[in-house]
């Protein structure tokens, strides 16, 4: 599958700290397209922070809201969407991603991801390295399963990654 000359959304997936938000913003500027960060959009829609949603309705409640948001964004005109790292957890989301756009996996190792994440308090599922490693291992096959293209981000700048993605579209 290809992005069909950007006639559909491009979804960025990958583990927390992969650079989905930064890369999509940078690429949006290069392409003259809009970029939307799913979690930011979700927080505005809900009027509360992701960490508060987790505290109030748990991960299951968060996943339900996340799927509603994904459906909304998948129906929009071509734009770049940076997804939450857990978007691939639910089968229903993997189906929506595959059917709605071009999916780019930004791959990152857990140690590098940890060094990129300045504020762990906003990420309820990235609290310590052991748990993050287990989660990353569980997610790896799911990212691979849904990705149309994968870019290894190890040691690369946001600009270099955005340029690499641009050539894939």
Q: Which residues are annotated as a binding site for substrate?
A: 39, 63, 85, 139
The nearest distance, CB 75 to ligand S3P, in angstroms, is 20
CA distance 133 to 67: 25
Give whichever of 1 and 138 is closer to ligand S3P, judged by the CB atom.
Answer: 138
Give whichever of 109 and 124 is closer to ligand S3P, judged by the CB atom.
Answer: 124
The nearest distance, CB 14 to ligand S3P, in angstroms, is 7
Numbered residues of the known binding site for Mg(2+): 21
* CA dist list (Å): 17 to 24, 58, 90, 121, 136: 13, 22, 20, 13, 11
CA distance 113 to 79: 25
Binding residues (CB under 6 A) for ligand S3P: these are 16, 39, 50, 84-86, 123-125
Give whichever of 78 and 124 is closer to ligand S3P, judged by the CB atom.
Answer: 124
The nearest distance, CB 160 to ligand S3P, in angstroms, is 20
Query: Are 57 and 12 a contacting pair, CB within 8 Å?
Result: no
CA distance 53 to 10: 26
């Amino acid at each position: 599958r290809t992005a069909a000359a950007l006639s559909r959304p491009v979804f960025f997936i990958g583990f927390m700290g992969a650079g989905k938000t930064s890369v999509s913003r940078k690429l949006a500027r290069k392409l003259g397209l809009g970029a939307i960060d799913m979690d930011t959009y979700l927080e505005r829609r809900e009027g509360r922070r992701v960490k508060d949603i987790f505290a109030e309705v748990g991960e299951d409640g968060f996943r339900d809201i996340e799927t509603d948001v994904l459906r909304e964004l998948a129906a929009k005109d071509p734009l770049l969407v940076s997804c939450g790292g857990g978007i691939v957890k639910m089968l229903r989301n993997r189906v929506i991603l595959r059917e709605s756009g071009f999916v780019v996996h930004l791959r990152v190792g857990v140690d590098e991801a940890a060094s990129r994440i300045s504020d762990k308090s906003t990420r309820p599922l990235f609290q310590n390295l052991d748990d993050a490693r287990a989660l990353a291992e569980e997610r790896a096959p799911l990212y691979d399963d849904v990705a149309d293209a994968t870019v290894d981000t190890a040691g690369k700048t946001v600009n270099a990654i955005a340029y690499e993605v641009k050539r894939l579209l």
